Amino acid sequence: MRLGGREYPLVGPDIRDPRLHVALVVVSLQVLGQTVLHFDISIAQILIGVVTCALMEFGITAWRHQVIAWPSSALLTGNGVAFVLRVPGTQHGDWWSVRGGWIFAAVGVVSLLSKYLIRVGGRPLFNPSNFGLLLGFLVLGSRRADPLDFWWVRPGVALTLALTVIVVGGLFLAWRVSMFGVVASFWLAYAAALSVLAARGHCITARWHVGPVCDQYFWTVLVTSPEVLVFMFFMITDPKTVPRGRKARIAYGAAIGLVFVMLAAPQRTEFATKVALLGSLALVCAARPLLERLSPIPGSDTDRLAIWFGFDRPASRSPSRRRRVQRVATAVVIATAYSAIVVGAGASARTSNVTSASGLAPTGCTNRGAASVAPARPTVRAQPLPAVRVTNAINVATSISTQSAKKIVRDVIDDLAIGADAIEHHRPELAGDVARSPWRDSLISTICATAGPLIVSTYHFDNATVTATKRATGQRSPEIDVTLQGERRETTLTRSAHPRQMFAHTTPFRNTFVVSQRGGYWLICGYRADPRTASCVTAT
């Protein structure tokens, strides 16, 4: 191709290039994400990440080598960035949203530049997409950027398709690039170390699970996580950043798994745990030159695994029984010391330390900073329970049973009735029994107002729908939404010691309340339609 008076050779894609196979897997997962997996990412955001990396590599290659080449590596880097990166607030179905487009572009630029600027021995030191994503999450935090969830969807056809694509594609890639040792050593070390952490009651909060994820369930989710499988098959096996030599590669994979669990031990949120996963690869990549120096020469007789484990060597050179016992004892001491470090580091994230935050104490009107003692929550059965329906979201792991949904609806109806009584009889101490911030603050303001008439709302509901909804931002548990439909009667009273009715009117009512649990009851946080009171301030 002739450009600007110069001729440039054209280099197209090679069907035998393993990077094309990885790209095919990632693109297949992106298609599933946009259709049946309900990923919170738009097509426009994906294109921004991919095109940014492709254009940069296209320009750098043309400038440095005077060649116009198909940017296989850059397309893979951009796809990797777009697959893992999420911008909070983006909803599934917003196909062409460019929300946070600059974040996708910036992470893509950093990822690609790291491949050219941070090199040791003529090779990139870090996996490009891993380096860019890690730096992006550390700098931006969970409010602006969030990794893909560990847990994707409920078991079913969609998850089966995704796991089939990941495992079949991953095993084929590992065979093509001779990375079975890296994959196996990572998974075995990671699963074993994680079992130590889970056995000690480790917990994290996650947007897809109501309440903390703890113990055996924590281990199961992470060991079988599709995101971890993608990391294992397609990120740590990058041939340009993996050390040379069989023994070095096995040590490399095991080190990533062990470092990850050590970094994850003190973390209490899914965001921090996912950053620990990316950070483990970056740290081990940084130590790769040292690992290669300490390992046998690649391809030499001493680099064979059979010799490493004491097989396939002359009897005269086989380790003595005493030497084998010493090696086993050393391995036991190292494993015990590592387990102790993991258990100690994870003390802050054990079950007993991950508790639900309590609501704010009830207050009086004269001094809202001082708590007053509220009586026991009144028992209200103002109306029969309406028809209750449950909709369990595909991207939330916690299923709400019909019995639990009826309990939630009954408590919310009681909350509204007790709140109306608190307004009518000027009882701010009841606010803490029916509401949590921010709706609690609004309720107290209404009770404590001194001007204008009193407006007391009572309700009659015909049907109710309960569902768990992932939060748009942050790492807190899902919110429970209760949609109530029926009639609302608004009664206007005089504001006096003995309120007198002025007038009343009835209108159709339909609204969605955000609720959370405290003290065995479900309390109202606000209205989903009102951005000022749409989310619970405290964790559920």
Residues 391 and 277 in one domain: no
Residues 168 and 89 in one domain: no
Q: Dump pLDDT digits (tens) for 112-166.
A: 999 999 999 899 999 999 999 999 999 999 889 999 999 999 889 999 999 999 9
Mean pLDDT of 338-351: 77
Residues 190 and 122 in one domain: no
Residues 479 and 435 in one domain: yes
CB 30 within 8 A of CB 82: yes
Last-in-domain residue among 148, 175, 208: 148
Give me the pLDDT at residue 320, please: 66
Q: Domain residues for 190? A: 155-287+341-355
Asked, for residue 336, whether it belongs to a domain, the answer is no
Residues 197 and 254 in one domain: yes
Give me the pLDDT at residue 395, please: 85
Asked, for residue 377, whether it belongs to a domain, the answer is no
Which of 118-122, 163-167, 170-174, 466-470 comes out lowest in average pLDDT? 466-470
Residues 428 and 480 in one domain: yes
Residues 521 and 440 in one domain: yes
Last-in-domain residue among 129, 148, 167: 148
Give me the pLDDT at residue 537, please: 61
Which of 13-27, 95-109, 342-356 comes out lowest in average pLDDT? 342-356
Residues 29 and 139 in one domain: yes
Q: Is 75 exposed, middle or buried (0-12, 13-18, 19+ CB in 10 A)?
A: buried
CA angle 335, 337, 341 (to 5 degrees): 115
Mean of all residue pLDDT scores within the chain: 86
Q: Dump pLDDT digits (tens) for 213-263.
A: 999 999 999 999 999 999 999 999 999 999 998 889 999 999 999 999 999
Between CA 410 and CA 404 the distance in angstroms is 10
Residue 358 has pLDDT above 60, yes or no: no
**Total domains, the chain:** 3
Residues 52 and 128 in one domain: yes
Q: Dump pLDDT digits (tens) for 477-508.
A: 788 999 999 999 999 888 777 777 777 889 99
Asked, for residue 325, whether it belongs to a domain, the answer is no
Residues 186 and 268 in one domain: yes
Give me the pLDDT at residue 296, please: 82
Residues 159 and 144 in one domain: no
CATH code (residue 429):
3.10.450
Asked, for residue 7, whether it belongs to a domain, the answer is yes
Between CA 430 and CA 444 the distance in angstroms is 9
Asked, for residue 306, whether it belongs to a domain, the answer is no
pLDDT category at 318 given cuts 50, 70, 90 is: low
Asked, for residue 296, whether it belongs to a domain, the answer is no
Residues 203 and 348 in one domain: yes
Asked, for residue 304, whether it belongs to a domain, the answer is no
Mean pLDDT of 264-292: 95
The pTM of the full predicted model, rounded to 2 decimals, is 0.83
Residue 352 has pLDDT above 50, yes or no: no
Q: Dump pLDDT digits (tens) for 202-227.
A: 999 998 998 889 999 999 999 999 99
pLDDT category at 20 given cuts 50, 70, 90 is: confident
Asked, for residue 14, whether it belongs to a domain, the answer is yes
pLDDT category at 329 given cuts 50, 70, 90 is: confident
Last-in-domain residue among 355, 379, 406: 355
DSSP for 137-187, please give it: HHHH-TTT-EEPPS--S-SSHHHHHHHHHHHHHHHHHHHHTT-HHHHHHHH
Which of 24-28, 272-276, 300-304 comes out lowest in average pLDDT? 300-304
Q: How many CB atoms lie within 10 A of CB 514?
A: 24
